[in-house]
Amino acid sequence: MSEINGSAAAAQQAAPAQKPRRPKPKSMLMLGEQSAALLENARQAKARGEMVGWSTSIFPQEIAESLGLNILYPENYSAGIAARKQADPYLQMSEGPLNYNNDLCSYAKINLAYAEALHEDGNFAMPDFLCVTNNICNQVTKWFENLSKRLNIPLFMIDTCYNAEDYVTESRVKYIRAEIDQYIKDLCAYTGKTWDEAKFQEVMEVSAVNKDLWIKANELLMAKPSPMNGFDLFNYMSCMVCNRGKRSTTEILTQLCAEIEEHKKNGTSTYPVEEKYRVFWDGIACWPWLGHNLRVLKQYGINMVASGYVKAWALDYETNDLDGMARAYSYCPANNNNMSTFIRRRAEALKQFQCDGMIYHVNRSCKVMDCQQIEAQRQIEEMTGVPYTTFDGDQSDYRNYSEAQYETRIQGLVEVMEAKRKEKEAKENG
């Protein structure tokens, strides 16, 4: 035993000293407290015999917030499990004993395995009801329908329908508004809660402030060079995904914006190397390999300054307008956007953020988004002249990714971006 300890001590002394970790900004510490509180409040509610719900991510959460209900978000929790590289036992259970297909959304596979095992590990309270919208995809609907049947609990659904137009028709608003009204009625009846219009307006006002702050945080990255590493914003999405109507989100995002503005003022950045290129990231984060994604980009001085995925949570509607809420959930930057809207929004962002390139995450779990990407890549490059690359991956299944492929694709993008830059400089210099 003494020999083992001696060898370990010698190895430790011989090893190069590690750089001390950069202290987390105040906003990130506040975010951690909020995330912990979300889970703890749900656990305490269950202990008191109160109902807890599970919800899809793009859902009008202000309604449940107004009723004082505790809502958890399986997609967000699955992403966290994947980011911590803890997804494998859930994936194996889902594809093995539970016999779900390998091609299912990996968020769904992780959560279905979790729910089947009634895996109350002290983190994620089991639900008494479910809330779902289908503006993300049809698979999320079947996922929650499956949960409803397996757990024998009710499912409340707001049908938003696929929007084929470049705008939202009034007939669509009327339909979705009726869905929202029915949801409020049914949820109150099931939970025994009483609807309070004044409380709802209060929550909506908080939600509107948080939306504005989220947009501001995103748009501060337009500065060149950017005062922030765009990957950092992935971490703060839980504010809007899970806590949009909470005052704690206002405090976090206010602090975050102040930190970004301070970097901008001082000419500093959370991006740790010189910013040589700016790119737009399309698609969901590749959570199991996010560290590798970032390390490779840093090697070439590539900063991700804009993302359709991050901006998607800035749903815009008036505080006293349920029709506006219906319109927003029909036209939000999710997978229910038609091709022309999908392309227009990204082309505008490339110009606004002065991007040199685009990176498309071809996410095996998200077939709807992948289908759009194929044609969007061609049209956006033709419209903007901005080159792009793609890589295969997955939002939470670590097996669907190749480090070598990603590195090769990024290297190729750098070569094209550099060639285009030199071509532009040559034209400007005559």
- Looking at per-residue confidence, does 358 or 322 come out higher? 358
Contacting residues for 389 by C-beta, under 8 A, at least 6 apart: 357, 358, 359, 360, 409, 410, 412, 413
Nearest to 331, CA basis, from 123, 105, 172: 172
What pLDDT is attached to residue 8? 37
What pLDDT is attached to residue 224? 95
pLDDT tier at 119 (50, 70, 90 boundaries)? low
Average pLDDT for residues 8-32, to the nearest whole number? 66
Phi, psi (rounded to 5 degrees) for 71: -120, 135
**Neighbouring C-beta atoms of residue 412, cutoff 10 Å:** 12
Tokens, residue 275: 């910013």
End-to-end CA distance of the chain: 74
d(CA 84, CA 87): 8
Radius of gyration of the chain (CA): 23
Residue with tokens 């809207």: 341
For 185-235, give the DSSP string: HHHHHHHT----HHHHHHHHHHHHHHHHHHHHHHHGGGSSS-SS-THHHHH
Residue with tokens 């022309």: 340
Q: What is the pLDDT of residues 191-245, one digit of tens each?
A: 999 999 999 999 999 999 999 999 999 999 999 999 999 999 999 999 998 999 9
Average pLDDT for residues 409-418, to the nearest whole number? 97
Q: For the ranges 52-56, 118-122, 209-213, 288-292, which has the lowest average pLDDT?
A: 118-122
H or E element in which residue 369 lies: helix 367-384
| Whether the predicted model's global pTM rises above the 0.95 cut | no
d(CA 229, CA 265): 16
What pLDDT is attached to residue 353? 96
What are the residue ranges spanned by the domains of the chain?
Answer: 26-428
What pLDDT is attached to residue 146? 94
What pLDDT is attached to residue 1? 36
Give the burial class of 17: count Cβ atoms within 10 A of its Cβ; 0-12 exposed, 13-18 middle, 19 or more buried. Answer: exposed
Report in angstroms the alpha-carbon separations of 398 from 87, 99, 106, 310, 359: 8, 19, 10, 21, 19
What pLDDT is attached to residue 16? 40
d(CA 30, CA 37): 11
Residue 247 C-alpha from the chain's centroid? 20
d(CA 353, CA 262): 19
Provide the edge-to-edge strand list for the sheet that holds 155-158: 70-72, 52-55, 129-133, 155-158
What pLDDT is attached to residue 327? 85
User: Does residue 334 have a pLDDT over 80?
Assistant: no
